[in-house]
Amino acid sequence: MPKKSVKGRGSSTEEASPCKQSRVVSSDAPSPLCFQSPQSLFESLIQPVGTEQFFVEYWEKKPLLLQRSDPAVASYYQSLFQLADLRSLCSQGLQFYRDVNIVRCVNGKKKVLNKEGLVKNAALTTNLSRNKASIQFHQPQRFQDELWRIQEKLESYFGALVGSNIYITPEKSQGLPAHYDDVEVFILQLEGEKRWRLYNPTVPLAAEYSVEPEENIGSPTHDIILKTGDLLYFPRGTIHQAETPAGVCHSTHLTLSTYQRMSWGDVLSDALPSMLFDRSRTEVGLREGVPRRLLLADSSDVKTNRRLAAILRTLAEDLEAGRQEVTSSHMKKDFITNRLPPPCLQQLPAGGAPALEDTVCLRFKDHMMVTVESSQQSTEEATEQFVFVFHSLKNSRENHMMGDIGDEEEEWHSSKGLRFPLSHLPALRQLQQEERLPVRQLHLAADQDKLSLTLALWSESLLHVL
């Protein structure tokens, strides 16, 4: 993407032009986004760029700027969140640090101006006008229904968590110093204008945690002015900074971030331990002892390296031939446990209770996962496997991406999972693959098993009786 020039930049003196005022818009502005499916939502978000072009040319490669001239799009973006919305939310007990950060970039360093306790309107006003500080509001989808709808669809589209933050920055001010993050970032400009400067990535595909780069970061590769309704994407690892130019009272933008800890290394770290454990039960060679004093040696010898390489090579060959499955169960559970619940979820099961003569279909397929695991009560000598169905329908929207959800495995199993005998796996796969299926055609021998399976799914609002 060519470098963008900047014209009409305000001077550094206080004699600036009058502030541009944001239009007051209705919260029910018509949406230019299509919520029919996760695919259609993302397509409408990045239009006119197609999804195939986006993932071939931009995803994890380079920034993409989409400038919109349609007033309807600008009005919709404004309706997603404004400073007035944050002021209204102060009555709901917002807290510093947990919900709101007050930050300012001073001499290239981040300065946090938070106080303890609840966030008051007066504090927002003081920090914006007098301290020229930025307001960072964490995870607004907890309060704004339209952002909930957007992020829930994006989580289904990417198969990964999608977080968000609101940044409100006053005129001629910058909230954060130049830095890079470990997520893929989509910027939506909601109010006013903001100047973005992007630099070359510190390393291809940033490491696990965001770290402020060295002061000497070179010249920007992109110098961009975002206006209300514009969208900017840049890959993780891209050094960036943003400021509100002169003549703009304040600027509000929304960051949508995704694909944190979603690398090949993360998948291998999750999948390899369980794969090796399963194979060790059937392959004697993996249960043979390692060479004597291996742990006391400074490094392994050539013979040991060859033995390990042979084991990994056999595993790789079985993976390629389809004789070994990759089961990244921890990553899947983490996603299902922490993602947003569907906005359209009804509190009661859909339709009447299923009967043998009924035809049924799964609801919220993107919100459930089926795994085969050993029972926690089983002993090592007699391991019994069960089928577990986990889902996110009972997840808390209020805690989304806030780190408040407990990770006690046993508690989560009991509250958000269903357990079935291993014999039920073919029937569950049927339901996952078919759009509609007669209960009698389920791959289970007994009619009672067919009824108990469908009733359990129906009672969790995962099954619809047609």
Into which CATH architecture does domain 264-321 fall? Orthogonal Bundle (1.10)
CB atoms closer than 10 angstroms to residue 331: 18
| SS3 readout for 73-114 | HHHHHHHHCCHHHHHHHHHHCCEECCCEEEEEEECCEEEECC
Summarised one tens digit per residue, pLDDT across range 67-78 is 999 999 999 999
Boundaries of every domain in the chain: 38-258, 264-321, 329-399+409-465
What is the per-residue pLDDT for 26? 40
Summarised one tens digit per residue, pLDDT across range 247-281 is 999 999 999 999 999 999 999 999 898 888 888 88
What is the per-residue pLDDT for 376? 55
Indicate if the alpha-carbon torsion angle 162, 167, 172, 174 is positive or negative.
negative
CA 61 from chain centre, in angstroms, equals 19
Summarised one tens digit per residue, pLDDT across range 78-91 is 999 999 999 999 99
Residues 30, 12: Cα–Cα separation, whole Å? 39
Tens place of pLDDT per residue across the chain (466 aa):
333 333 332 333 333 334 443 333 344 667 999 999 999 999 999 999 999 999 999 999 999 999 999 999 999 999 999 999 999 999 999 999 999 999 999 988 999 999 999 999 999 999 999 999 999 999 999 999 999 999 999 999 999 999 999 999 999 999 999 988 899 999 999 999 999 999 876 555 555 444 455 556 778 889 999 999 999 999 998 999 999 999 999 999 999 999 999 999 999 999 898 888 888 888 898 999 988 888 888 777 888 999 999 999 999 998 999 888 877 788 999 999 999 999 987 666 666 899 999 999 999 999 999 988 876 554 455 568 899 999 999 999 999 999 754 444 444 444 558 999 999 999 999 999 999 999 999 999 999 999 999 999 999 999 999 9
| Token pair belonging to 203 | 């390393």
The DSSP H or E segment spanning 330 is: helix 329-338
**Class level of CATH domain 329-399+409-465:** alpha beta
The model's pTM is 0.87
Phi-psi region of 461 (alpha: psi -120 to 50; beta: other; left: phi over 0): left
What DSSP string runs through 381-413?
A: SS--EEEEEEESTT--GGGTTTT-S---HHHHH
- The CATH number of domain 38-258, selected from 2.60.120.650, 2.40.50.110, 3.40.50.2300, 3.40.250.10: 2.60.120.650
What is the per-residue pLDDT for 345? 74
